[in-house]
Structure 1
Amino acid sequence: MPERGNADQRFLLLYGSQKGLAQSLSQDIQEQAEQRGLYAERHCLSRTSRAFELAHERAPVVIVVSTTGDGEPPDTATKFVRSIQRKGLPPNHFCHLRYTLLALGDSNYTNFCNCGRTIDQHLAKLGGHRFYPTGHCDDAVGVEEIAEPWIEGLWEVLKKELGGRQWTQANENTMTTGRDPVVRSEGCIGMVKESEFTVTNTDAVSNMSSTCHIKGGGKTAPVLMEADKTLEAFIERSVRPDKAAVGTCEALEPSPSQKPKDAASFSQGEEHGSMSSGDDKLITVLSMSCRNLSITSSSETKSHSSPANSQPPSAWTRPAPHLSNVALNVPSLPASFLEIDIQRNTHFDDFRVESMVDLLPKASSSIHWIPVVSAKRLTQLDAIKTTMELWLDVSKTSLNLSPGDSVGLICPNNSEEVSYLLQRLELEAVADCLLTVHLTNANTRKGVQIPVHILSQCSLRMLFTHILEIRAVPKKAFLRSLAEHAEDPTERHRLLELCSRQGAADYLQHIRKSLVCLADLLHSFPTLCPPVALLLEHLPCLQARSYSISSSPLQHHGHVRILFNIVEFPTSVYRASPRRGVCTGWLTELVGLYVRGDVTLTSSMDDATAVASKVPQVPLYARPSTSFHLPEDRSRPVIMVGPGTGLAPFLGFLQHRKWQQDEEAEPAGEMWLFYGCRHCKQDYLYRDELEAHMASGVLTRLLVAFSRDNVHPSGAAAGRPTRYVQDNLRIYSKDVVRMLLQQRGYFYICGEARNMAPSVHETLVEIVVQEQSGTKLEAMRTLATMKKEGRYLQDIWT
């Protein structure tokens, strides 16, 4: 193993993670570095000035960082980002620094990979030299699509940065997958037994041109490899990135005459870059046709069927014909590092949700148990979606919330799903016994630790109920590990296909887009039975769910209102039975019959003690917003866009302004609300409350669009039908431009991020172009300036 002090082998590896993915990728880089004889000194970005100091770092630096929310840095990177943004730093502050960066983000959000871009921009601005192109990973299509080739290409460049020292990869000629030997072969793919694989070592260097092409969605789209530093290009990327340019490919299209090469989305400042495949190991499933692989009978292989559905597995779980004769490039098998001990004679059930406070994102308070004082269904029984309202009593807490803030609800996993996992994994007999977790004595992974969310003492039922995100969509590394525990060779082969680079399209369709989780895999692959320790290594921490408050503490002191749609997932080829969202399903069970609509849970909000003894309580904490608040200058006009439950924070805005109007009698600027729903009669939320705000003069204009109704009264006066909020924005384009640009007003969007928010933004661009007779680029620059000034604000979710 390389020594820490050897400067020829050492580089600094930093990560900033919110949910653990960036941390996991940095760990993969560290392990691969060790295999190549390098030493990666790895630290969290939160340890800046304690464990590392970039101002004095002479070794190459590799940074892996995620983005959370709509462009915010993860909690662990906030301090670091602020430190490099300090005013007064000289332009040559990092002139000695050689760095590269892997940014993680989600292109459904406007500020895609914004934290990574911010760090990249400031390091370069202060004189830093980027020695390898920045990678931008898109969680909307799979982080691995960019991360894997980026990491593979890193080693050849890093080798040169470290002085050209000759270094070799450990176990170059042989390797093991954990169950079967994998034999190196330099020749053609041959016929072997079903359990054997061949590793082909490809040393070719891929010299990429400035533009390559990848296949995605049936189209071939160019992927720009050069990051133009002009304002125009920056705006183009930051406002709405081209998904094709951030890795939304479904399959790579290598030249038939060449060995497989990797395409990735990189940005390299002012110059074109080349990428080296390095010691790319191509694990090849041999050319025996998958269709000829026999399925082991039930008498030969132990079968684990789902109690909910014992039907034969669906077509998506069988090997794909289009992958039957291709070389599968699969992730290397992660080495196991956890072990568990179960004390069968010791019962343990001592979980306290308050112990999770250190793991909560953006928490500004301790965890409080809050009684539900009112619950009712807002939509009609025949509405497509069921929307619920909850009033929560926070009068006995120290929570300090304002309109625009949100609360984080700490919810458990569904008890039936937990029971299924315990049964399916044959763990019911020890589900409530004391469990201890520790690192295995045979662990060879440098720097690994027990995940911080795994308690030192717990039980399996507690882990599956309160700690682990059992609904998490499995990453490719998880599928690779699971494949080792499928007894049937056909099932094992299919899992390898799904995690392979050649099976990227199948992974996207059957795993990511279908929201397949561990329970679905266990149901669909009957002989799959992984050990518990493997699940602890790969399943992330169960995340709290965030809900915007839809009330004002000025008008409803001591009480908070939240809205939510009950998320429904119907039965499909991937799910044996229907299920609901983790948190919305749990909340629905808490309020019981009230979801039916014919019963309403209400109690006197003044009698909190009596209420608390009769109704459920929910654990929550405060998540204050840094910017999504009403402007301090009340004379500024406000435009609010909130379809569906995106209306929630604006109800709080209106209540807040109503109280200010009644108590302070100060003049306020215009407030316009663009609201949308499907049907006027079935799901028009808070119609009476909104019309009351119109009557009082707090709300200047209420514009409602009904996407599924034939009558659209809000656009009737203009003689134009309106189905969506964008239509009403176009109708009142002159007023929108007047309020936002001439009167320097504020624009707020709340709601769904995948389609609604980008569509509204594009509509705004059109409006500015039309009303100011300018170009699209000028309009985009105008909106980017509004964002920088804090006058274009979003509260959006996927």
Structure 2
Amino acid sequence: MELIRQSDFLLDPRKQEDLRRFAEGMTREQLLWSSGYLTGFGESAPASKIQEDIGEKITILFGTETGNAKRLAELLAARAQAMGVQTSIQDMLTYGRAQLRRDRVIVLIVSTHGDGEPPDSARMLLASLTDGPVPDLHGSRFAILALGDASYPKFCQAGKAFDIALASAGAERLLPRVDCDVDYERDAMYWMEQVLGALTTGKSSPAVPFPAPVPKQGYSSHATFPAVLLGKVNLSGRGSDREVWHLELDLDGSGLHYAPGDIVSVAPSNPPQLVEELLDRLELDHKASVRTRQGEMPLVEALAAHYEITRITWPFLERYARLSDAKALQSAIAGRDVNGLDTWTDGREVIDIVGQYPVKGLSAQSFADCLRPLPPRRYSIASSLLAVPGEVHLTVAAIRYSSHGRERLGVASTFLADRVAIGRPVPIFIEPNAEFRLPEDSGQAMIMIGAGTGVAPFRSFLQEREALGAAGNNWLFFGDRHFSTDFLYQREWLRWLRDGRLTRLDVAFSRDQERKIYVQDRLRERAGDVFAWLEEGAAVYVCGAEAMGRAVHQSLVDIVQSAGRTQVQAEEYILELKQTGRYHRDVY
């Protein structure tokens, strides 16, 4: 990656080489801090004058499940501190009502998950603003950056809820809330400029542009590494109604490193047959040139690799409705008919909208401008570098289903399952997931709870602990549909069980008996032993679908209650596990 261009910054070759050596080998966090520190030298106003203008410190709060909000909060804090602004940064999980009353400038970065839900770490703070006596926040100011996915009807709902609650409590908005889709970097940087500008100069943006986030090891959604596919194995047994693949990718030459619990993001391409059918439906020239963030290119190339053409988002509907003569669509959009449109769009894709509401004379550029960039798809890493040096393994369920008379394909899952052959490259980058790490103490016990492909990170955990010779006990709860066809990585779990690396194994195959049994049911059945492990200091890890995560959480509360606690005490017990870093969730 080219860190410096001499023509832009007027650095002679010697200084350029000095700076390259300075940056080489630094972590993402160190690079972010350094970029903010160096930028501080270019500010026109002295630090003392800036601090005098603000008069109070900025409190930056983050609520996150995957770590994105935390990374953005750290970037904002580094930039503010480089400008001489007194700044504190804090997880919403540990931020209380008393601090809310005391702090006068509050900046929030919060994500949304599931059906418009806030992250676990943000629930208590939001409840303190909406339930019971609400604190009086007159005299306080705030700004909110909301992260979400516009393909969900309750897009950025957590950020919206905080925005309404803080204003209702009397706090004043520094600037309007900014809602970010999955491709959030550009909007997030703009919002940060506005926040610091409003606080330091009273203008719309600071004098020096905000430094762009520095991607770890040079790879990001904008610059991926072509990891060659080394192997592919179908983990599902014959007769399974699912198709789960184990994939092994080569990292040789990338310089990439990862820790168990981290994420591989895959930059896929759309199914070619869907691209062709969409172009035919639109009656557009495949070779028509369109402007994209990656430059000008033929429309067919843009639709194949750079635009989301499956998931229907609210921004797409709003833009397309302005082009369409369809009164029903325009009316639904104008009225924000979330429930009605959400019901209609369920199981449908962009091609269905185009077919239902055609636009005469639509240009290639007009249609492209309606679409959002094709976001990468995130997969939990299923391997340890200590066990498989130079490789990264994934566990991917191929998504295929029928709806509304059409066959549907998961974009990334079928890209990996069907269209990438052994020896061919897969564009990837690594995302750290600091919220889902192994215990620092290798002797600490772990309870791991995963369903389906949610078991992937636990394979990496046990590989790592085996390679390290870690002494901690390990208990796995695994759930899927059928024992005979869906027991993912069965041989490995049983080997680790025989070797003693896996201390206990409990499985739940929901469809092998008349009454469905899930991992949360197995937890309740083992309530006494689970509580004993918790009392002895075990850490809990949950990975899988959002609904499973909620059910497991309730089971843990019930288990603590069964040990003689009241419901309130049980909820406080689980909260303490989170606050002390012993309860980790990676749900989607």
TM-score by length of 2: 0.71
Do the aligned partners of 1:378 and 1:683 also contact (CA within 8 Å) in 2? yes
| Separation in 1, partners of 2:336, 2:225 | 48
Q: Is structure 2 residue 306 aligned with structure 1 residue 471?
A: no
Residue equivalent to 1:637: 445
| Separation in 1, partners of 2:480, 2:312 | 30
Cα pair distance change 1:521/1:74, threshold 3 Å = farther
Say which SS state the counterpart of residue 412 (structure 2) adopts.
helix
Do the aligned partners of 1:66 and 1:113 also contact (CA within 8 Å) in 2? no
Do the aligned partners of 1:676 and 1:705 also contact (CA within 8 Å) in 2? yes
Q: Is structure 2 residue 585 aligned with structure 1 residue 589?
A: no
Do the aligned partners of 2:261 and 2:437 also contact (CA within 8 Å) in 1? yes
Do the aligned partners of 2:245 and 2:398 also contact (CA within 8 Å) in 1? yes
1:266 maps to a residue whose letter is: I
Q: Is structure 2 residue 330 aligned with structure 1 residue 510?
A: no
Q: Displacement, 1:404?
A: 1.5
Say which SS state the counterpart of residue 419 (structure 1) adopts.
helix
Q: Displacement, 1:382?
A: 2.1
Say which SS state the counterpart of residue 403 (structure 2) adopts.
coil
| Separation in 2, partners of 1:684, 1:422 | 41
| Separation in 2, partners of 1:728, 1:522 | 46
| Separation in 2, partners of 1:618, 1:273 | 48
2:406 maps to a residue whose letter is: S
**Pairs within 5 Å for 1:769-780:** 769-771=561-563, 773-780=564-571
Residue equivalent to 1:550: 382
Say which SS state the counterpart of residue 403 (structure 1) adopts.
coil
| Separation in 2, partners of 1:101, 1:659 | 40
What is the number of equivalent residue pairs in this alignment?
486
Cα pair distance change 1:65/1:767, threshold 3 Å = closer
Residue equivalent to 1:577: 406
Do the aligned partners of 2:229 and 2:250 also contact (CA within 8 Å) in 1? yes
Cα pair distance change 1:116/1:132, threshold 3 Å = farther
**Pairs within 5 Å for 1:363-382:** 364-366=217-219, 367-382=224-239
Residue equivalent to 2:533: 739
Residue equivalent to 1:497: 331
Residue equivalent to 2:164: 266
| Separation in 1, partners of 2:118, 2:225 | 32
Say which SS state the counterpart of residue 570 (structure 1) adopts.
strand
Cα pair distance change 1:544/1:138, threshold 3 Å = closer
Say which SS state the counterpart of residue 247 (structure 2) adopts.
strand
Of 672, 679, 682, which aligns to 2:482? 679
Higher helix share: 2
Q: Is structure 2 residue 450 aligned with structure 1 residue 618?
A: no
Of 485, 494, 504, which aligns to 2:323? 485
**Pairs within 5 Å for 1:175-214:** none
Do the aligned partners of 1:693 and 1:699 also contact (CA within 8 Å) in 2? yes
Residue equivalent to 1:428: 285
Cα pair distance change 1:468/1:115, threshold 3 Å = farther
Unmatched segments (≥5 aa) in structure 1: 1-44, 151-245, 247-263, 275-357, 438-452, 593-613, 712-720
Unmatched segments (≥5 aa) in structure 2: 1-35, 81-86, 91-97, 173-210
**Pairs within 5 Å for 1:185-334:** 266-268=164-166, 271=169
Q: Displacement, 1:498?
A: 2.3
Residue equivalent to 1:400: 257
Cα pair distance change 1:586/1:270, threshold 3 Å = closer
Cα pair distance change 1:632/1:793, threshold 3 Å = same
**1:213-254 CA distances to partner (integer Å, 9 max, x unpaired)?**
xxxxxxxxxxxxxxxxxxxxxxxxxxxxxxxxx6xxxxxxxx
Q: Displacement, 1:583?
A: 0.4
Do the aligned partners of 2:104 and 2:141 also contact (CA within 8 Å) in 1? no
2:519 maps to a residue whose letter is: V
Q: Is structure 2 residue 74 aligned with structure 1 residue 78?
A: yes
Q: Displacement, 1:616?
A: 1.8
Do the aligned partners of 2:65 and 2:111 also contact (CA within 8 Å) in 1? no
Do the aligned partners of 2:310 and 2:349 also contact (CA within 8 Å) in 1? yes
Of 546, 552, 558, which aligns to 1:766? 558
Q: Displacement, 1:137?
A: 9.4
Of 112, 130, 150, which aligns to 1:105? 112
| Separation in 1, partners of 2:402, 2:531 | 43
Q: Displacement, 1:540?
A: 2.0
Q: Is structure 2 residue 585 aligned with structure 1 residue 791?
A: no
Do the aligned partners of 2:265 and 2:431 also contact (CA within 8 Å) in 1? yes
Cα pair distance change 1:788/1:697, threshold 3 Å = same
Residue equivalent to 2:396: 564
Q: Displacement, 1:463?
A: 1.9
**Pairs within 5 Å for 1:657-676:** 657-661=465-469, 668-676=471-479
| Separation in 2, partners of 1:589, 1:105 | 32
Residue equivalent to 2:4: none
Of 654, 663, 675, which aligns to 2:462? 654
Q: Displacement, 1:131?
A: 6.5
**1:349-369 CA distances to partner (integer Å, 9 max, x unpaired)?**
xxxxxxxxx999975543321
Cα pair distance change 1:529/1:559, threshold 3 Å = same
Do the aligned partners of 1:399 and 1:622 also contact (CA within 8 Å) in 2? yes
Of 748, 762, 767, which aligns to 2:541? 748
| Separation in 2, partners of 1:419, 1:51 | 54
| Separation in 1, partners of 2:418, 2:432 | 27
| Separation in 2, partners of 1:577, 1:265 | 40
Do the aligned partners of 1:94 and 1:128 also contact (CA within 8 Å) in 2? no
**1:145-166 CA distances to partner (integer Å, 9 max, x unpaired)?**
899xx7xxxxxxxxxxxxxxxx
| Separation in 2, partners of 1:631, 1:97 | 36
Say which SS state the counterpart of residue 586 (structure 2) adopts.
strand
1:640 maps to a residue whose letter is: M
**1:604-645 CA distances to partner (integer Å, 9 max, x unpaired)?**
xxxxxxxxxx62221212222213222121221100001111
| Separation in 2, partners of 1:376, 1:563 | 10
Say which SS state the counterpart of residue 239 (structure 2) adopts.
coil
Cα pair distance change 1:481/1:727, threshold 3 Å = closer
Do the aligned partners of 2:116 and 2:155 also contact (CA within 8 Å) in 1? no
Do the aligned partners of 1:365 and 1:621 also contact (CA within 8 Å) in 2? no
Q: Displacement, 1:102?
A: 9.3
Residue equivalent to 2:33: none
Cα pair distance change 1:762/1:364, threshold 3 Å = farther
Q: Is structure 2 residue 371 aligned with structure 1 residue 539?
A: yes
Bigger radius of gyration, 1 or 2? Answer: 1
Cα pair distance change 1:369/1:655, threshold 3 Å = same
Considering only aligned residues, what root-mean-square deviation do their CA atoms show, in Å? Answer: 4.5
Do the aligned partners of 1:411 and 1:586 also contact (CA within 8 Å) in 2? yes
Name which of structure 1's ranges 453-462 and 759-768 shifts more when overlaid on structure 2. Answer: 453-462
Q: Is structure 2 residue 191 aligned with structure 1 residue 383?
A: no
Do the aligned partners of 2:451 and 2:478 also contact (CA within 8 Å) in 1? yes
2:472 maps to a residue whose letter is: G
| Separation in 2, partners of 1:757, 1:92 | 30
Cα pair distance change 1:362/1:66, threshold 3 Å = farther
Of 499, 522, 528, which aligns to 1:728? 522
Cα pair distance change 1:682/1:749, threshold 3 Å = same
Residue equivalent to 1:521: 353
Q: Displacement, 1:484?
A: 3.6
Do the aligned partners of 1:98 and 1:129 also contact (CA within 8 Å) in 2? no
2:139 maps to a residue whose letter is: H
2:413 maps to a residue whose letter is: T
| Separation in 2, partners of 1:756, 1:617 | 33
Do the aligned partners of 1:406 and 1:546 also contact (CA within 8 Å) in 2? yes
2:154 maps to a residue whose letter is: G
Cα pair distance change 1:649/1:132, threshold 3 Å = closer
Q: Displacement, 1:680?
A: 0.8
| Separation in 2, partners of 1:670, 1:470 | 46
Residue equivalent to 2:30: none
1:621 maps to a residue whose letter is: F
